[in-house]
Amino acid sequence: MKNLLDELILHQKSRLFTLAKEIIPYITTDDLLQPCDFPELENHAYFRYEEGLLAGLFTVQSAFLSQERQNDFFESD
């Protein structure tokens, strides 16, 4: 499951960057850490949607890792 989540996140990051490059050709991956600095991205509904999908994947990954650590903690007794 962890590998699948990693793949999905990597794919979504790539998709988001590709979309951002279509909107702002000179954008870098570092710029995507603060998309609010770019009004073209901030006000682009499809970009915000794709960004939301990435945020959702990060949330799922975080929950999965937390559950995995909790299971490891209780199984080690």
For range 33-58, the mean pLDDT: 97
| pTM, rounded to two decimals | 0.86
**Quick one: pLDDT at residue 1?**
83
Q: Residue 23: what pLDDT?
A: 98
Indicate whether 77 pLDDT > 70.
no
Q: Is the pLDDT of residue 76 over 90?
A: no
Instruction: Look up residue 66 and give its two tokens.
Output: 């937390």
Q: What is the mean pLDDT of residues 13-33?
A: 97
Whose tokens are 């995995």? That residue is 68
What average pLDDT does range 19-28 have in this prediction? 98
Calculate the alpha carbon distances from 7 to 56, 67, 70, 71, 72 in Å.
14, 19, 23, 23, 23
- Rg for the chain, CA atoms, rounded: 16
